[in-house]
Amino acid sequence: MKKSLLISILCLFALSLFSQNSLHFDGVNDKVDCGNNTSVQITGTSITLEAWIYPTSFKPLVWQGNIINKEGNQIGYMLRAGGTGQLNFNIGTGAWNELNSPINTLTLNTWQHVAATYDGSFMRIFRNGIIIDSVARTASISQTTQNLVIGEGSFYTGRYFPGRIDEVRIWNVARTKAQIIADMNRELCQIPRSLKTYYSFNHGIANGTNTGVTSVTDLSGNNNTGTLSGSSLSGTTSNWTTGASLTAGIANTQVPVTTCGSYTLPNGTVVTTAGTYYDTLATSAGCDSLIGYQVTFSAAHIANTNTIAACASYTMPNGSIINSSGTYYDTISSATGCDTLDSYVISISGAVDDSVFRVGGRITAWDTWAGHQWVRCDSNFAPINGETSRTILATQAGDYAVIVSRGVCVDTSDCINIMLSGLDENRSTNFSVFPNPATDYITLGSEIPFSKKNLAIYNTTGQLIKNITSTRNRIDIENLTNGLYFIQITTNNTIYHSKFIKN
């Protein structure tokens, strides 16, 4: 009872100090250095960058006003603003991959939410939850050792942002338009695992004297504390100031914890390194309080090291479910207390996608990153010699399937029955569809070289859903139910195929 009362008093005290602030950058020498924690060393094909910004002027060139920057020499990622009110999203893959929004996307002296996503197929820029521009890309983000910096460049310096920045969020997933809209107008209270850095900038007294408030807390729990430099920390500029008007999310209470080996937060997260970790505290008004557990560890002995390969997830002996590769620890109880650990070096292979689509006698597996082996279902799933690519062109009638594998993850597709016709499948090719996912309509890519289209839409079971004869590139899909669909377009000489998601 006393503990509950103490937590309630601490939360009420924290709420009384809570304010929705932001940080003003003078555009001359103000920046926040957030270090190079492993959580922000994001590579691969999935990332989302978000922030609320209030630009007071634009630098002459779009790449001169850094909002979020972690770039090396043509590697890393960044979100910038400048030029004639443009946004710039750039990912480095050994070469720059830039996307600039149209001019006048941004407005001076106005709060606006900006976001950029990359999902391995498309780079997209959002303003206030609306997609402003996109471009197809299939490269992989390369890691840089440069620090994450807010308001300035990390590799190419002297590129300062003029104005206020609030609610910086960096994710290692590509968030959807619906997810961005759902969360952009509220401060986050529950922290998803995919949120690798989160700065709410709720520090100091807006426009007051804040010379002692020189750091910004990372609320993701990954300890990416940002250090201010250049800020005068007094008055209405180069200081903590009023932030974007959002739904209040969190209050901050710190609880010291000393333990041995590992510590399990109330939300089930197991931590094994010292630092401050956050968990939410529900109140009668909803999830509006955040508890920071300042965890320190006593010396512990590693008794055994276990190397584990698992598919998608692994359940530790203590019941914890592990979804990402890394080193984890389990405590071995002893009469003298928590002084011995088992170490688990876990390698997680991503789950494979065993879905396929068929166009005539050609069958293609969707999973582009996996290994493939085609088999004959009607011959006791015997492997077909030499057929190990994503696509197989059936030369005999029968039932075909593909075994998809990545690491220890293996799955087999449904069997596809082929009854050969006279159609020349070797002339089948792909085309682009956008937007994808789509809600009301899709637009067919301009690479289809014909004027009259005989178009068919199928569901994932091969059922014909819609048959269209049209000379237009824009196809209405508003009446389709949500899900994955395949498109086939047939001309006198060629078969074109693609897929899209209706949501």
CB within 8 Å of 278: residues ≥ 6 apart: 191, 219, 220, 221, 290, 291, 292, 293
Q: What is the pLDDT of residues 135-156, one digit of tens each?
A: 999 999 999 999 999 999 999 9
Q: Is the pLDDT of residue 257 over 80?
A: yes
In terms of Cβ atoms closer than 10 Å to its own Cβ (0-12, 13-18, 19+), residue 110 is: exposed
339/125: higher pLDDT: 125
Report the candidate in 219, 166, 188 with the shortest Cα–Cα distance to residue 22.
166
**Across 248-256, average pLDDT:** 65
Task: Using the CB atoms, write b or e for 285-312: b if 16+ within 10 Å.
Answer: eeebbbbbbebebeebeeeeeeeeebbe
| Least confident segment among 163-167, 314-318, 356-360 | 356-360
Tokens of 158: 């002297």
Per-residue pLDDT reduced to its tens digit, 72-82: 999 999 999 99
Min mean pLDDT across 23-27, 125-129, 460-464, 496-500 is at: 460-464
Q: Is the pLDDT of residue 423 over 60?
A: no
pLDDT for 337 equals 52
Residue 7 has pLDDT above 60, yes or no: no
* Cα-based distances in Å from 259 to 253, 267, 292, 298, 310: 19, 17, 15, 6, 29
Question: What is d(CA 423, CA 493) in angstroms, rounded to the nearest whole number?
Answer: 10
Burial 405-434 (b: 16+ CB within 10 A, else e): bbeebbbbbebbebeeeeeebeebeeeebe
Q: What is the predicted pLDDT for the residue at 433?
A: 87
Res 11 pLDDT > 90 = no
**From CA 202, how far away is CA 20, in angstroms rounded?**
5
Of the chain, the end-to-end C-alpha distance in Å amounts to 48
Q: What is the pLDDT of residue 59?
A: 96
Res. 421 pLDDT band, cuts 50 70 90: low
Q: 460 or 206, which is more confident?
A: 206
Side chain identity at 448, as an amino acid letter?
I
Is the model's pLDDT at 87 over the cut of 50? yes
**Which residues touch 377 (CB under 8 Å, ≥6 apart)?**
398, 399, 400, 401, 415
**pLDDT: which is higher, 487 or 27:** 27
Residue 260 pLDDT = 67
pTM: 0.51
Residues 136, 140, 144, 150, CA torsion sign: positive
* Residue 383 to residues 66, 99, 387, 388, Cα–Cα distance (Å): 54, 44, 8, 9
Is the model more confident about 152 or about 483?
Answer: 152
pLDDT greater at residue 382 or residue 251? 382
Q: Is the pLDDT at 336 greater than 50, yes or no?
A: no
- The dihedral formed by the CA atoms of 53, 55, 61 and 66, expressed in degrees to the nearest 10: -40
Q: Is pLDDT of 474 > 90?
A: no
| Average pLDDT, integer, range 48-56 | 98
For 48, the token pair is: 């989302």
pLDDT tier for residue 305 given thresholds of 50, 70 and 90: confident
Mean pLDDT of 483-494: 75
Higher pLDDT residue, 500 or 84?
Answer: 84
Q: Which of 72-76, 97-101, 174-178, 374-378 has the lowest mean pLDDT?
A: 374-378
- Predicted pLDDT of residue 190: 77
